[in-house]
Structure 1
Amino acid sequence: MTALDTSTPVAVVGAGTMGAGIAQVAALAGHPVRLHDTRPGAATQAIDGIRDSLRALAAKGRLDAGQAESAARALRAADALADLESCGLVIEAIVERLDAKAALFGALEAIVAPDCLLATNTSSIPVTAIGAGLRHPGRLGGLHFFNPAPRMPLVEIVSGLDTAPATAQVLADTAAAWGKTPVLTRSTPGFIVNRVARPFYAEGLRLLQERALDPATLDHVMRTCGGFRMGPCELTDLIGQDINAAVSRSVWAAFHHAPRFEPSLLQQELVDGGRLGRKSGRGFHDYRPGAPVPAPRLAAPQPYPETLSIHGDSPLAQALASRLQARGVAFDAAPAADDARVARAGDAVLYLTDGRSATRRARDLNRPATLLLDLALDPMTAACLPLAAARQCPEPERLEAVGLLQAAGFDVAPIQDAPGMVVMRTVAMLANEAADTVHQGVCSAADLDLAMRLGVNYPLGPLDWCDRIGADTIGTVLAHLRDSDGERYRPCAALQSAIHSGKPLHDA
């Protein structure tokens, strides 16, 4: 292991929320820490805040009192960059502008020792560009923490074209010694997390724009059916609509306006209207005092259908059968049907979405009473299932389908007939972007899934999720989405390879 010795002084430039958080992490790891900011008094104020935070953690029993006091003593404000000359690592956490970062590292190169490592906490600017003007760019790498730095476990270790392998290794080992989980990535737009996460926001926002469902129902479905910690509306409200939109625009521009990264007009309207989320009081949801908590739109209770049948042994069919049995609801077990149906309730026939709309599938099958179910992370335990009906489906058959799902203990979220539905459409695009990212050599498959679980709290890594439900299923969903909505949904080469080879996506 090549982590920096704890006797090595570490400097952090930028005393904002992120810089202060990084300084706290380094101090708790045992390093002497120097915090610098160009704003008079900002570093001292930040250190006072860190010390208060450390003592509060100790008072609550979340941190050893001696460790808290030792870390508090390790922090010192640096009035000038020249005060950082003895440091062995300098981490930049200043404004997200290339010119400012490049100028800072140029100044630091004239101050620190030749063996001092330089690290940028940028979330979107290429490390190669930041270090382009340095005499020794090999000692510069990315050390991308996630907010809040003291609590979030993930750190992306970013290598530009000139970053020396030894630099990346020391940064990774040091992050691990600080109690973080490092993942290695090349300096490409968005690195791992900010690139691969774009479809989570983008597909949800497109569904809203298509009026398939409302924000409260979208968030509810992604949490209770998809297993995500937060839905896209509440998460972007937490991040800040302006910040999330800016990252989306940055990634879209960096990928030469590829359709899959196209920013949301709906989100931009929120930004233009000052509805930035929690920090402004309103975003997709209303956070002002006294505002009602938004409720999802769920189907009213319906009686059990007189006849129920479960077809085949797919995971969804098995879950429906098990949940009905647990509730004492009688049903017929039927063999798998040629049309891949999952269940039948009276005249209503239910299928797992394959990327086609229910209306198109009803036409293809010549069966008007066609209804679609969404992908669930775990259909045995999911609290809610979205249900979409073909436009030609009669109302009695819609209600029978609702009654079947409610009999199995699901809340039912009726949505408009959108291709790919909600969770399936999102997961398919996440898996496609993840596969393309690994295929381009940005990172390893293992690091990608780890980054998405730790960086944005996904219940499964996108590649693991794809391997669980099958690359062929993801490919079929994307092919049908592409038929209806264009090149945005084109399956990437790595996904197509996994489909043709039959190998798990991790091995494709």
Structure 2
Amino acid sequence: MSSSFTIHQVAVIGAGTMGMGIAQVAAQAGHAVVLYDTNPAQTARALDDFASRLASRVARGKLTEQDATALRARISPAERLSELAGSDLVVEAIIERLDIKQQLFAELEGICGDRCILASNTSSISITAIGAALSRPERLAGLHFFNPAPVMKLVEVISGLATTAEVRDTLLTLARDWGKMAVHASSTPGFIVNRIARPYYGETLRALQEGCGSPQLLDTLMRSSGFPMGACELTDLIGQDVNFAVSSSVYRAFHDEPRYRPSLVQQALVDAGRFGRKTGQGFYAYENGKAEQVPLAAPAGQAPDRVLVLGDWSELKGAEALLGRYRGELERRDGSPALLIDGVRVELTSGRSCALRHPGLAAMALDWADDYESVSHIALGVSEYCTEQQVAAVVGFFQSLDKQVILLPDHPGMLVLRTIAMLVNEAAEACLHRVASPEDIDLAMRFGVNYPKGPVAWGAEVGYRRLLTLLDNLRTVYGEEKYRPSLQLRHWAVAEEAI
């Protein structure tokens, strides 16, 4: 869509890490950039650091001296806000306080021309609320970069209640011209990424609170399922204080919606000053920036000579190929998909604990894997009715298939499938409320937090009906609305069955 907005000069307010990163992105795209900070010394430091980084790249042969000089020359400091008057786009990257942002943008309205777009890099404050203090809120939008801005591909373009389609489309086109993956969202708490990512942290933190396993064990399981980092190590990297503050902000913004309730486990770390890597202690203890690692896999077991396979396992990718590795006798019978190993019934988790699903019987729950043949770890939830000998037999069976085995308590829904279900459910709710399109949600989660798949597409692969059943069971088991399935997820499940 064509636009009458033309962006030549870009102004960035705030010379911190994020503001300087945004200035660099704009300059690399060929724009003249004006950088302003209320503290001129901070602007000077930011530009000096930028010049040093450019010099380092030149020394390493990554950039020519001519290109480095030209790039540095495109960014000029401003000592007064009035010097931003000739800008076509102003991007604010300052403290996350509504009153300060409102005051700043109200002042900018009197400085910048009518065809200047005003944008906030806020990650959590409502664009609609910021715009409420303006006489022309229609030219205000969110332009949310992810840190570090020159590296991270995703940019969320956020429309407030008054933002025009012209402003929205101009920013989407501009961000794409800057080499970014631009997605659009309406101004709701957390926008896309910071909203939909909440369950990724929340389900691991809840598993910790319920004694499901150590941080390292749970992180290992999530990494083996394709996530780049487990929730514990990721929140240590982000900062427990920062992650807890975002969770608390989203929770309050949604009027105490149970899905976003912050974790007491994380609050304890924050109260203790254990913020993660930056303090040397979080879920992990850090020495020289590295966390201590300990062995996690279950001890060696003894594989049985015979295993009974019930039902059809072809719906689970790689499962039949994995079973084909077994050197013992495989007997097959009709029935609901399950493995019978030394008297233990092993079946995919369904959102109920084994003790509730099979009272008094030896049973184990198998957690989800996108491909059972290629996954490195197999996670099993062990019922209290299993003997040590039976556990050793099941462990030995999977070890004989070249898998490392992670043993968990009888945790409803386990961890991987439960987390995927909650991510998909959150994406479904965002679609239902028209926060963003399914396509933009998937792009945002892949490029904003490096998920192996977008949650909407992932849900289609796992099966919306399977995830709906798991959430319904979790809701019944816990008696909590936290696990209430989205109406949109129910619709997707019905549509899936109709195909």
* Pair in the same fold by TM > 0.5: yes
**Corresponding residue for 2:121?**
121
Aligned identity (percent) is 45
Cα distance, 1:185–1:290 mapped onto 2, change above 3 Å: closer
- SS of match in other structure, 1:284: coil
Flag structure 1 segments of 5+ consecutive residues without an equivalent: none
Cα distance, 1:148–1:214 mapped onto 2, change above 3 Å: same
Q: Select 2:356's aligned residue among 360, 363, 387.
A: 360
CA contact (8 A) 2:142 2:157 kept: yes
Cα distance, 1:317–1:443 mapped onto 2, change above 3 Å: closer
Q: Could you list the per-position Cα deviations for residues 48-79 of structure 1 after superposition, in whole angstroms to 9, with x for gaps in the alignment?
A: 11222233334444445543332111111111
**Corresponding residue for 1:46?**
46
**Corresponding residue for 1:251?**
250
**Corresponding residue for 2:274?**
275
Deviating more after overlay: 394-403 vs 144-153: 394-403
**Corresponding residue for 1:232?**
231
**Corresponding residue for 2:176?**
176
User: Take 1:203 and 1:4, find their aligned partners in 2: how far apart are those partners?
Assistant: 46
**Corresponding residue for 1:418?**
411
Cα distance, 1:336–1:41 mapped onto 2, change above 3 Å: farther
Matched, 1:351 2:347: yes
**Corresponding residue for 1:490?**
484
Q: Select 2:466's aligned residue among 462, 467, 473.
A: 473
Q: Could you list the per-position Cα deviations for residues 267-301 of structure 1 after superposition, in whole angstroms to 9, with x for gaps in the alignment?
A: 01101111001111111111134976232532011
User: Take 1:352 and 1:64, find their aligned partners in 2: how far apart are those partners?
Assistant: 56
Matched, 1:167 2:188: no
Deviation for aligned residue 1:307: 1.0
Deviation for aligned residue 1:346: 2.5
User: Take 2:186 and 2:316, find their aligned partners in 1: how far apart are those partners?
Assistant: 42
**TM-score normalized by the length of structure 2:** 0.95
User: Take 2:179 and 2:371, find their aligned partners in 1: how far apart are those partners?
Assistant: 31
Deviation for aligned residue 1:335: 4.1
- SS of match in other structure, 1:35: strand
For 1:350, give the aligned amino acid. Answer: V
Deviating more after overlay: 407-416 vs 203-212: 407-416
**Corresponding residue for 1:264?**
263
CA contact (8 A) 2:300 2:392 kept: no
Deviation for aligned residue 1:148: 0.6
For 2:491, give the aligned amino acid. Answer: S
Cα distance, 1:151–1:336 mapped onto 2, change above 3 Å: farther
CA contact (8 A) 2:5 2:170 kept: no
CA contact (8 A) 1:347 1:397 kept: yes
User: Take 1:298 and 1:70, find their aligned partners in 2: how far apart are those partners?
Assistant: 54
User: Take 1:335 and 1:5, find their aligned partners in 2: how far apart are those partners?
Assistant: 68
CA contact (8 A) 2:153 2:180 kept: yes
User: Take 1:433 and 1:441, find their aligned partners in 2: how far apart are those partners?
Assistant: 12
For 2:132, give the aligned amino acid. Answer: A
User: Take 2:84 and 2:5, find their aligned partners in 1: how far apart are those partners?
Assistant: 17
**Corresponding residue for 2:391?**
398
User: Take 2:6 and 2:55, find their aligned partners in 1: how far apart are those partners?
Assistant: 22
User: Take 2:128 and 2:242, find their aligned partners in 1: how far apart are those partners?
Assistant: 23
Matched, 1:155 2:164: no
- SS of match in other structure, 1:502: helix
Cα distance, 1:38–1:414 mapped onto 2, change above 3 Å: same
Cα distance, 1:357–1:98 mapped onto 2, change above 3 Å: same
Cα distance, 1:290–1:312 mapped onto 2, change above 3 Å: same
- SS of match in other structure, 1:465: helix
- SS of match in other structure, 1:169: helix
**TM-score normalized by the length of structure 1:** 0.94
User: Take 2:82 and 2:143, find their aligned partners in 1: how far apart are those partners?
Assistant: 22
Q: Select 2:381's aligned residue among 383, 388, 408.
A: 388
CA contact (8 A) 2:33 2:75 kept: yes
Matches within 5 A, 1:80-479: 80-224=80-224, 226-289=225-288, 293-295=292-294, 297-315=296-314, 319-326=318-325, 329-332=327-330, 334-338=332-336, 340-341=337-338, 343-363=339-359, 368-479=361-472
User: How many matched pairs?
Assistant: 498
User: Take 1:492 and 1:91, find their aligned partners in 2: how far apart are those partners?
Assistant: 35
For 2:106, give the aligned amino acid. Answer: G
User: Take 1:396 and 1:35, find their aligned partners in 2: how far apart are those partners?
Assistant: 68
For 1:466, give the aligned amino acid. Answer: G
Deviation for aligned residue 1:2: 5.1
CA contact (8 A) 1:55 1:69 kept: no
Deviation for aligned residue 1:387: 0.8
Q: Could you list the per-position Cα deviations for residues 13-59 of structure 1 after superposition, in whole angstroms to 9, with x for gaps in the alignment?
A: 00111001101101101101111101131111111112222333344
CA contact (8 A) 1:6 1:31 kept: no
Deviation for aligned residue 1:408: 1.2
User: Take 1:40 and 1:290, find their aligned partners in 2: how far apart are those partners?
Assistant: 32
Root-mean-square deviation (CA, aligned residues, Å) is 2.0
CA contact (8 A) 1:252 1:258 kept: yes
Deviation for aligned residue 1:490: 0.8
For 2:488, give the aligned amino acid. Answer: A
User: Take 2:33 and 2:330, find their aligned partners in 1: how far apart are those partners?
Assistant: 68
Cα distance, 1:7–1:493 mapped onto 2, change above 3 Å: closer
Deviation for aligned residue 1:465: 1.1
Deviation for aligned residue 1:378: 2.3
CA contact (8 A) 1:466 1:474 kept: yes
Deviation for aligned residue 1:134: 1.0
Deviation for aligned residue 1:469: 1.2
For 1:434, give the aligned amino acid. Answer: A
CA contact (8 A) 2:120 2:143 kept: yes
- SS of match in other structure, 1:33: strand
Deviation for aligned residue 1:244: 0.4
CA contact (8 A) 2:159 2:185 kept: yes
**Corresponding residue for 1:57?**
57
- SS of match in other structure, 2:417: helix
User: Take 1:167 and 1:347, find their aligned partners in 2: how far apart are those partners?
Assistant: 65
User: Take 1:333 and 1:270, find their aligned partners in 2: how far apart are those partners?
Assistant: 50
Deviation for aligned residue 1:125: 0.3
Cα distance, 1:358–1:57 mapped onto 2, change above 3 Å: farther
Flag structure 2 segments of 5+ consecutive residues without an equivalent: none
